[in-house]
Amino acid sequence: MLTYKIDDEIYLSLPRPEIDSTALFKLINDSRNELIPWLPWVLKIKSIADERETLKRNTHSLDMTHSLNLVIWYKNEIVGSISLKNWDKNNKKLKLVIG
């Protein structure tokens, strides 16, 4: 698993659709009402299978110049995801979308 260590408790990893979809779906489902105003795509994630397919699609269309989707881990448990989008290679600026 490709990871990026933030500190001793937090790291980021590329999603593993078959493994990570259950935990990510549970997080989405548990916080659905809070997420919907900020992340309208949550309405489309109605099952673990929906989340798995989204992760597969994001992983297969990985394009470093457009979007990089990562899983957030805290104390070896999945706690969310982050999407790095629309960065300007010349200015090295990122637009972060946390979900």
d(CA 35, CA 55): 18
Q: Which fold has domain 3-98?
A: Aminopeptidase (3.40.630)
pLDDT of residue 67: 75
pTM of the model: 0.81
For residues 21-38, average pLDDT = 97
Instruction: Judge contact between 25 and 45, C-beta under 8 A.
Output: yes
Q: Which helix (H) or strand (E) holds 84?
A: strand 77-88
What pLDDT sits at residue 47? 98
What are the pLDDT digits (tens) for 44-92? 999 999 999 999 988 776 655 567 889 999 999 999 999 877 655 666 5
User: Structural domain boundaries of the chain?
Assistant: 3-98
